[in-house]
A and B are shown apart, each in its own frame.
Chain A
């Protein structure tokens, strides 16, 4: 077993990427992902890799496109406003069936927002990665260890399904330090072949094209349908979630990333009081772990998401629960992280059959905290 080291989440993501065979990093400075780029700037030249600070987020994602088209494992990292700028390039990656790792260390929005932790890019990541029909795989780690572990999966799934993968974390996870056990470095020989890549034909094959343009409508539809057939496989095979004390839970909180850490404490607190609370923690946000929720509908009386946004993932829980149980949500946004006590109060009220609403609920809640 490898030795554990104390690392920031941002640094763990970077080191894990290098160990997964990522040889090129293109990015643009933005808080709170700074440590990731700084780590890459230090490490990449030492391993014969490329660190390049692009002139913009737009350029960075297009450099990723070029390096991926050339057959290399490549990544970029940014934070919410920067990821908005990358959406054009992500759409082209999707359309050209190119794998790439995109890290979003979320901060508050909209606009310039703030630099505190946030989960307000859920819709952007799962619904709106640029124009056109398309999806990317989205993973949401909740510990530094999981950040390191998910990087290798992200690269592998990207190669396997030929699509971009995002790791959606936040400023809290990016900047906190935890002990982490890093995977062994992957040799180049262990990387999957990319026979479709543009490497120059060297007189050995006919020319290859990486392209997202189909001027013939039928060809475009066919290409999209083929891609969505692949998405069906992703939906079937790649749902990931952690279930915590859910087997007998009467009320289940659904939370991912940093929010899930708070909810876990709240669930422990309620269990000590004898209340049957549980936590479902989606690890894959797309594909959403609907199978786990489907199973839980048969067990629990009510659901509640806890999000660092005005309630975005709650849409996916509602789709999965499909009206069979009440689905509430409790949130803070703008960079405020809820306390376990707040969450515990909210869960207790949901269990008592109350319907929770957002902002007015916050002010009412204040007097009830224990």
Chain B
């Protein structure tokens, strides 16, 4: 929890558990990106000093048990319904800070209607969208963001776009909506990108604090278990395959000139 006290002036704590992150074991697989991303969210809650007025919403997916991982108030939501639940909380308690933590199946498939409408209403919530191109919790089925040709349990011959359609680019889709304050895609495959991801998450929360509208931070992430890869290989696969399809960058920033920025030049694995 809190940083250990030190007697020596020369000792400096460089790394400790964020205060907002509960001291419990997570149920994530080894090498999974969730650990990094949830830590970043917790660090931002600490940095902004908002844990005490934050309520998190975690819907169905690998992240559903995240209600135990944060020290702020938390609720679990039905599959895809986190934006609606978050809307109810935020409308009931306008001074609270509300974030959802949603996977790709949850946000872009079963919860697409809730996502689009919370976004277009400009709900003052911050959405952390973890896109790992697969259904993790149920064991590796094709997701709305699975890449063309990607082999999954339910696309055993590779995603055939003629039959299964094309992957959804969520930030691009949502960036056309007036209610969106921030739509940014980041990843966590190296320290530089991890720092950029944290900056984006913090910005999303700050935009909520300023009442600017809906913010979404899409984190392109890995699922080594269901991709059938070592964690290091998974990050390489992410850089080689996912980032070309899901370019990193700011897709909408209400504070940028014209309100919407072009795709940032930082495309690729950074």
Contacts and interface: CB of A to CB of B under 8 A. Distances in A.
A203 to B, nearest CB: 5
Interface string A42-70: 00000000101011101110111111111
Given A62-B88, A74-B92, 10 more contacts: A26-B88, A60-B84, A69-B89, A198-B55, A198-B75, A199-B55, A200-B55, A200-B96, A202-B53, A212-B76
Contacts of A63: 84-85, 87-88, 91
B89 A198 contact: yes
B67 interface: yes
22 contacts: A24-B88, A24-B92, A50-B91, A50-B92, A52-B91, A54-B84, A54-B117, A62-B114, A63-B88, A64-B88, A65-B88, A66-B85, A67-B92, A88-B78, A92-B78, A200-B54, A200-B97, A201-B71, A209-B68, A209-B73, A210-B74, A212-B76
A209 B67 contact: yes
Interface residues of B, number: 38
B77 A65 contact: yes
Interface string A197-219: 01111111011111111010000
Contact of B78 (A62, A71, A215): A62
A89 interface: yes
Chain B binding surface, main DSSP class: helix
Given A67-B92, A69-B89, A207-B70, A89 B81 contact: yes
Interface in A178-211: 198-204, 206-211
Contact of A202 (B52, B81, B84, B117): B52
A67 B77 CA distance: 12
A336 to B, nearest CB: 36
A213 B117 CA distance: 26
Nearest to A208: B73
Q: Which of B54, B75, B81 has the most CB of A within 10 A?
A: B75
Interface in A5-35: 23-24, 26
B64 interface: yes
A264 interface: no
Interface of A: 23-24, 26, 50, 52, 54-56, 58-60, 62-72, 74, 88-89, 92, 96, 198-204, 206-213, 215
A34 to B, nearest CB: 21
Given A55-B114, A65-B85, A209-B68, A89 B78 contact: yes
Contacts of A202: 52-53
A307 B109 CA distance: 41
